[in-house]
Chain A
Amino acid sequence: SVVTQVVHSAGRRFIVSPVPESRLKEQ
């Protein structure tokens, strides 16, 4: 799975990873 890391200018680190299908609400 692809993991993206974004660091905000304030220094906070956001790590983005795919949400497992099971955690998504049914539309």
Chain B
Amino acid sequence: AEDTGVRVELAEEDNGRKSSIALRLWVEDPKKLKVKPKDNGAIEFTFDLEKETPEDVAQEMVESGFFHESDVKIVGKSIRDRVALIQWRRERICPG
């Protein structure tokens, strides 16, 4: 995946059964963002693979004050890349 400066990882082991997964996101390289975030902490949240889109979560992070609106796309893309990898891994382990 492209290095967006925003890192997203699983916050818990993925057993492949739950549609809702815990993810952790943090800024690895603030220079890649248009506006430097105020808080440099790791943000933990749950994401439903079946019902939600990464862009919705990114928008909620903007509305909650974690990121500036101009960075919503880069945050959404970072989450999308990680989610795609998790889904690809699930397909490999348990196709269908």
Contact = CB atoms under 8 A, between A and B. Distances in A.
Co-complex (A, B):
yes
Interface residues of A, number: 17
Contacts of B43: 14-16
Given A19-B26, A25-B29, A8 B42 contact: no
Contacts, number: 49
Interface residues of B, number: 19
Interface string A7-25: 0111011111111000111
Given A14-B44, A16-B43, A8 B26 contact: no
Given A9-B63, A23-B42, A25-B28, 10 more contacts: A4-B41, A12-B57, A14-B43, A14-B44, A14-B66, A15-B45, A16-B44, A19-B42, A23-B26, A24-B28
Interface of B: 7, 26, 28-29, 39-46, 57, 60-61, 63-66
Interface of A: 4, 6, 8-10, 12-19, 23-25, 27
